[in-house]
Amino acid sequence: MTGASDNSIIPNPAPTVVEACGEHGPAPVATSRGKPLLPDHQPAVARPSSPCFDASIAASVKPSSPPAPHPNPGCAPKSPAAACRSHIPSPAPPPQQTGPVQEAANRAAAVTHISALAAAPAAAVAAPANGHAGAGAAAAAAAGAPEANQAAGTALAAGPADGAGHEPGGNGGCPGSLCSTAPVAEGPDEGSRPAAGSPPLLLQQQQQQHIPDPAPQPVATTQAAEEPEETSGAGAEPPPAPPHQLEQRRESQAGSSSPAGPAAQVASSLLSDPDYEVPRGTLTETQVLLSLLEQKQGQRLDNSSSSRPVKVDRYGFVLAVQEDGSDDGGDGRRRDIGAAASTSGAAGLAPRLERLLDRELRLPLRQRRRRRATQQAEQQYAARLRKWRKMLGGGGAALEEYRRRRPEKFKRRVRKGVPDPLRGLAWLAISGGRKLKESNPGLFAALLSLKSCDAAPAPMRDAPATPPASASATASAAAARYSAPSADVTLCIMRDLNRTFPNNIYFMQRQGPGQKALFSVLWATAAYRPAVGYVQGMGFLAAVLLLYMEAEEAFWTLQAMLQGAGGWPEDQGGMERLYTAGMPGLQCCLYQFKRLLREVAPRLAARLDREGVDPELYATHWFNTAFAYTLPFPHLLRVWDSFLAEGPKTLFRVGLAVLQYAEGRLLGLRFEALLAALSARKLPELLPPDPHQLLARASRIAVSRRLGQLREEWQQLGQQGRGRGRQGGGGRIF
């Protein structure tokens, strides 16, 4: 975070150290917080005292230490952004740091290769994006933003309202970092919104680069410094105004594992407050990867203005690239602004200002209504977050108790969906992974340190953390009890790393942080459960978890799923039998599903039977990957909320609901068309667009009792010659 050295656009090939200080705050969902990319990744650089605080804390949080001068000269012009970076605490930032936003922006514009950045521009940009900016200062600030932005070489748009987006930046590089955010936005009507100005955290050295305009989808754009230790990136996207900025903002603060100095105190006090518990998301890294990708792209395009950022959705899945800028009006408009800024600098200011004023002053009534609705939604969301936070307690500790005491209420809340910022934490607790983790401290690291993963090339091997000294006892115990998976299994896992969510920015980089984490989770699982080893499909489970938690947490949550340790009904068992030799669990599930379908959608079932389309042909991965292979992410998350709480029966319900919902469209189809429609690629087209609708339908289908009966039936069939009920499936002649 300090050096102002020139840095290259080229991402360091060694992925180990890239981190993002900034976060993006995709709307309601955004939540992530920075964390070390890798378990073993230790920040090597001693950080100057103040900058360690990169963070975004809820505005209400007031760190007590005074702002320290930022070491980086680039930061000198103190802008709100700068204020945010250093832990400036007071609600009213010191004068020099609170210059009008516009001034800050202009200054930033003046200082071109400056690193720092971004907060101001981002804040400014955020306002217009939101339509929340007041006409006056805010508009001006917004107008100035593009230049600043550009000058800084980064396009960071803070999710406008979503404070959430900010995460404590790269903890790895910045150990004690806590992100604190000072209110930045100064729009007349925005002053009070903490979120409006949340500054993306910032970055180190930025390379000058014009970022084409961030699109409605989260786009990240950042630079990574070359020195590994110091690299950090920030990314933010300008999503539509998110509903719960305030709450999210609170969530967004992150805990870092090794706080240092004053930052440590603040961090630790925050961390002990359940209100500030945050799940560990990985979107921060996602953002970094995204930006790396963009850099590459920008380079390839020779930095011409045509360079286009890769667009991803809020979960990091890459969206189809638009061929030209004709996406939509709003986008085009913003692009214009960016273009003007890139070419004419300050000269472009007036027209843009005018446009902004237009937009702000002549805000149609409809828009105002919409805003009111949004505010309502925000309040509801905030209330939900509060409830959930209370239910979870610190770190999810209170959840079990709550679940025991109010099972119905718990179920109802889960079915309504876990608020995304709390999802990682909630999943860990709900599934029982948390309990497992606590009862086996250090085991994950110990498993990873098992010898003989020779097959794994060096770059992969550094993913596993070396266990801390204190855990050496655990390690030796583990070494005695568990053995490393065979080279075959290791290779198998590695071969699938590139093939697990290859379209997600977090997992797409070869040997990037996402793949390393995935490898470590799967490898440790194979060591921990030799009977399972690695089976294709498990990778998708782990990958979904890794988008919300750290490797160790993901590992234990996965174990909980495999052994059914959570609140899953005893008789349903865990997912493990889906993966053991012969996959008995899977075959049983498919049999049960087929029979249930006859009861739930008899006409469709008859049609499928007649055409020979058995569940083996389309539903294998529904169970094997708990729908992660096929469902769109927003649907998947809701399914998983309920799946982790209630067990595999949710998968049956969802599968049945999907077919029931699409029955009308499927009935007229023949064999091939049926298979095509039900394939993993096409299935999303059959779903209700709103995840809530899918879940509501699914929860109306009663399966629990029948599942038990059907399992017994299947077991009897098995004794008479397994598979009788499955005749005809793959046996179709053509």
**Under the criterion CB under 8 A, does residue 602 sit at the interface with another protein?**
no
**Under the criterion CB under 8 A, does residue 587 sit at the interface with another protein?**
yes
Give CA–CA dist 334/337, Å, rounded.
5
Give CA–CA dist 77/81, Å, rounded.
10
Cα–Cα distances (Å) from 553 to 392, 436, 451, in that order, read 16, 10, 22
**Under the criterion CB under 8 A, does residue 485 sit at the interface with another protein?**
no
Q: How far is the CB of 630 from another protein (least distance, A)?
A: 9
| Binding residue (CB under 8 A) for another protein from 629, 633, 652, 714 | 629
Bridge partners of residue 219, in order along the sequence: 311
- Cα-Cα end-to-end distance for the chain: 62
Q: How far is the CB of 517 from another protein (least distance, A)?
A: 18
| Binding residue (CB under 8 A) for another protein from 204, 624, 642, 650 | 624
Judged by CB, which is closer to another protein: 667, or 680?
680
Residue 708 neighbours by CB distance under 10 Å: 15
Judged by CB, which is closer to another protein: 458, or 733?
733
Q: Which one of 227-235, 298-306, 495-503, 568-576 is the stretch in contact with another protein (CB under 8 A)?
A: 495-503
Q: How far is the CB of 60 from another protein (least distance, A)?
A: 43
Give CA–CA dist 259/249, Å, rounded.
20
| Binding residue (CB under 8 A) for another protein from 5, 112, 380, 679 | 679
Q: How far is the CB of 639 from another protein (least distance, A)?
A: 17
Is-contact 238 125, C-beta < 8 A?
Answer: yes
Residue 60 neighbours by CB distance under 10 Å: 11
Cα dihedral 384, 388, 390, 394 in deg (nearest 10):
-140
Give CA–CA dist 448/460, Å, rounded.
11
Contact set for another protein, span 523-582 (CB under 8 A): 533, 535-537, 539-540, 579, 581-582
Give CA–CA dist 78/81, Å, rounded.
7
Q: How far is the CB of 526 from another protein (least distance, A)?
A: 12
Judged by CB, which is closer to another protein: 320, or 361?
320
Q: How far is the CB of 733 from another protein (least distance, A)?
A: 4
E strand segments, 87-184: none
Cα–Cα distances (Å) from 329 to 12, 121, 454, 690, in that order, read 36, 22, 54, 25
What does DSSP assign to residue 312?
B
Over the range 153-172, which residues count as b (16 or more CB within 10 Å of their CB) and which as e? Answer: bbbbbbbbbbbbbbbbbbbb
Q: Which one of 197-205, 340-348, 490-498, 695-703 is the stretch in contact with another protein (CB under 8 A)?
A: 490-498
Contact set for another protein, span 686-725 (CB under 8 A): 723
In terms of phi and psi (left: phi > 0; alpha: psi -120 to 50; beta: otherwise), the region of 235 is beta
Q: Which one of 238-246, 382-390, 396-404, 583-591 is the stretch in contact with another protein (CB under 8 A)?
A: 583-591
Q: How far is the CB of 536 from another protein (least distance, A)?
A: 5
**Under the criterion CB under 8 A, does residue 489 sit at the interface with another protein?**
no
User: Which amino acid is located at 501 in the chain?
Assistant: F
Is-contact 680 621, C-beta < 8 A?
Answer: yes
Q: How far is the CB of 675 from another protein (least distance, A)?
A: 5
**Under the criterion CB under 8 A, does residue 522 sit at the interface with another protein?**
no
Contact set for another protein, span 643-672 (CB under 8 A): 672
Judged by CB, which is closer to another protein: 680, or 696?
680
| Binding residue (CB under 8 A) for another protein from 331, 496, 550, 552 | 496
User: Residue 651: which of 594, 698, 604 has the closest Cα?
Assistant: 698
Cα–Cα distances (Å) from 590 to 179, 474, 598, 602, 669, in that order, read 48, 40, 13, 16, 22
Judged by CB, which is closer to another protein: 469, or 733?
733
What six digits make up the tokens of 667? 């009935």
Give CA–CA dist 696/37, Å, rounded.
37
Going residue by residue from 368 to 407, which x/- string records binding to another protein, judged by CB under 8 A? ----------------------------------------
| Binding residue (CB under 8 A) for another protein from 307, 431, 500, 650 | 500
Q: Which one of 226-234, 250-258, 428-436, 488-496 is the stretch in contact with another protein (CB under 8 A)?
A: 488-496
Residues binding another protein (CB under 8 A)? 492, 495-496, 498-503, 508, 533, 535-537, 539-540, 579, 581-583, 586-587, 616-618, 620-621, 624-625, 629, 672, 675-676, 679-680, 723, 726, 729-734
